[in-house]
Structure 1
Amino acid sequence: MSQTPRIFDRALVARRIERLAGHANFIHELVAADLHDRLAPVTRDFQKALIIGPDARALPAQSRSGNGPIDFERVSSLVPDAGFRTIDPEHFDPGQKDYDLIVSLLDMQVVNNVPGFLDTARAHLAPDGLFIAALIGGRSLTELRDAWLAADVEMAGGVSPRVAPMIDVRDAGGLLQRAGFALPVTDLETHVVRYATPFALFDELRGIGATNPLAERGRGLTTPARLARAAQIYAERYADADGRVRATLEILWLSGWAPHESQQKPLRPGSAQKSLRDVLGDKG
């Protein structure tokens, strides 16, 4: 069996998050609010719900479905804490296989083996249980990627890996289907965040522990000259009329259900009672 490639340095990400524990993180707040909105209309009882994310202290303890309150078992995927369990999503095993709801918030974008995690998450759901995940989407920080690419090519004659690869919405549905989820759904929430300068964006990324997580990142320090050139290119290409610069943030949402006989099934080929000609009329 081939070994999963190590794309992300999860130990580094854990150290950054642990160091910044307690700092405000607008992305966490945004995603938690969206999760509550998504669960609110679901008319199900979720008596046994697990939520996993990099730091369990940043995860919501409760939510609410259309049928009543949800109490989450909070689990850390990166930062150990005495008050919470820590489970590695690379080897996901919460110990029970009858969860009504499993939620993953802002961790899958640094999981090396996403198909494996989805497979095991589905296996730990009860029949007709729900899986929901939020992760950073594939077009996030495109402006930053472009500015660094141009600066690296101009000043070093090549490209250094700086921004992590991210899952595209077109691939996410296929991953859910491959893992055996029924009724898979993916969608994007796109936000444009504006900053006074590119350096304000750089400071924000450092402040939430979101700088380069790649295992194959360059180990040398970025020179002040190259940092300044990247910021200059960023401002030249992505500043608005008032001088503030734009940064794209995509949140990719995935959901799917553990298969159950009560779920709606697609019709068998050839089983339709009406032909397309009956519906559309004769257009020939």
Structure 2
Amino acid sequence: MTPHVFDRAVIRRRRVRALALGPADFLVDLAAGELSERLAAVTRRFAVAADIGTPTEAVTSALRASGQIDAITRLDLLAGGDDGTDGAALPFAPASLDLAVSALALQFVNDLPGLLVQIRRALKPDGLFLAALIGGDSLTELRQAFTAAEAETTGGVSPRVAPFAEVRELGALLQRAGFALPVADVDRLTVRYATPLALMAELRRMGAANPLVERRRAPLRRASLIRAAELYAARFADPDGRIRATFDIVWLSGWAPHESQQQPLKPGTAQMRLADALGAVEHGPAPKR
């Protein structure tokens, strides 16, 4: 059974609130620009593409302007009922896409392994998947500050910051989903804010406030909030008083398998000995006594 970690209905409501507040889309815009640059390094055109879950039109617009695609469909992963699940099948026929992309959406998918399998099946042979998602040590400063503050003020700790997958885990998921030539790497971005409260306000404008199913339903105590802000400023402020926030953007890429792709050599078929490649002297096994 798929773990139900993220409340999809809450994420949808948070996005609506962010639009009303005036959305903060700078991370999505940065990811869209980087995605376009990474795709430009692939010297080919893509006839049919899909933008899966990106919360704004930044990626779709960037790809249309790139001249590398003929048609692109944007899919909202939050569309549908408020049942809190995200296990619905993608609306793409098998082997129907040349390219699938996503920016800063997949970190809030409950069944990410299942979604990756669906994306791989929707790609044509030698089709490309390229995505960015929040991962690694993102918002570690905020997580540490809230943990310490609530331990002091309430004697307990409730989850305030969503868990994020590590780059190695995400790379393994690509392999598990059947992608060929899988690659996972991470870009670390440090953003500075005037105060911890300014960071929290920005997260609300990103629609990224706590989406966990197991979040505490009672409002955050004022004493806990004030103490968290104090600890944050004490531990993670620069000399000028501004505080730091870490965002790790994990990049995933993989190809639908095709016979034209580079294949690993079978065991025993190497044309050069390791000792020769290293310029070392090869010794036989030690004599038995």
Contact 1:49 1:100 in 2 (8 A): yes
Partner of 1:215: 213
For the residue of structure 1 that corresponds to 2:60, the secondary structure is coil
Deviation, 1:159, is 1.1
Between 42-51 and 90-99, report the one with greater CA deviation. 90-99
Mapped partners of 1:57, 1:68: distance in 2: 17
**Structure 1 position 44 matched with structure 2 position 41:** no
> d(CA) in 2 for partners of 1:93 and 1:233?
44
| Partner of residue 92, structure 2 | 95
TM-fit CA distance, 1:70: 4.9
Matched with 2:23 is: 23
The answer on 1:205 being equivalent to 2:203 is: yes
Write the distance in 2 (CA, Å) between the matches of 1:93 and 1:64: 22
Identity %: 53
TM-score normalised to structure 2 length:
0.90
Letter aligned with residue 28 of structure 2: H
State the shift of 1:24 in Å: 3.8
Question: Over residues 200-246 of structure 1, what are the superposed CA-to-partner deviations in whole Å (9 max), with x where a residue is unaligned?
Answer: 11111111111111001000001111100000000000011010100
Q: Residues 51-82 of structure 1, C-alpha deviation per residue, up to 9 Å, x if partnerless?
A: 011545454235179983454211111157xx
Q: Distance in 1 between matches of 2:54 and 2:220?
A: 27
| 61-70 or 164-173: bigger deviation | 61-70
4+ residue runs over 4 A deviation: 56-59, 64-67
Question: 1:109 aligns to what SS in structure 2?
Answer: helix
Q: Which has the larger radius of gyration?
A: 2
Query: Please, what is the CA RMSD of the aligned residues?
Result: 1.9
Asked if 1:261 corresponds to 2:262, the answer is no
- Matched with 1:63 is 63
Amino acid at match of 1:101: L
Structure 2 unmatched ranges of 5 or more: 284-289
Measured in 2, the distance between the counterparts of 1:39 and 1:177 equals 21
Q: Is the 8 A contact 2:167 2:250 kept in 1?
A: yes
1:110 aligns with 2:113: no
Post-superposition CA distance 1:144-164 (Å, at most 9, x none): 010001001111111101111
1:232-243 correspondence to structure 2 within 5 Å: 232-243=230-241
1 or 2 for the larger relative contact order (CA 8 Å, sep ≥6)? 2
Question: CA deviation digits over 1:86-134, x for unaligned, max 9?
Answer: xx86323223222000112211111111110011110110000001111
* Structure 2 Cα separation of the partners of residues 71 and 125 of structure 1: 15
What is the CA–CA distance in structure 1 between the aligned matches of 2:90 and 2:151, rounded to whole Å?
Answer: 44
Equivalent position amino acid for 1:95 in 2: F
Residues 60, 68 of structure 1: CA spacing in aligned structure 2 closer, same or farther, 3 A cutoff? closer
Q: Does structure 1 conserve the Cα–Cα contact (< 8 Å) formed by 2:18 and 2:204?
A: no
What CA distance in whole angstroms lies between the structure 2 residues aligned with 1:56 and 1:244?
29
SS at match of 1:271: coil
Aligned residues: 275
Q: 2:153: which partner in 1? A: 155
Matched residues in 2 for 1:50 and 1:89: separation?
Answer: 18
Conservation of the 8 A alpha-carbon contact between 1:7 and 1:214: yes
In the alignment, the residues of structure 2 paired with residue 70 and residue 175 of structure 1 have an alpha-carbon distance, to the nearest angstrom, of 29
Does the residue aligned with 2:267 lie in a helix, a strand or coil? coil
Equivalent-residue separation in structure 2 for 1:160 and 1:74 (angstroms):
35
| Consecutive unaligned residues in structure 1, runs of 5 or more | 81-87
2:211 counterpart SS class? coil
Tell me the residue number matched to 1:276.
Answer: 274
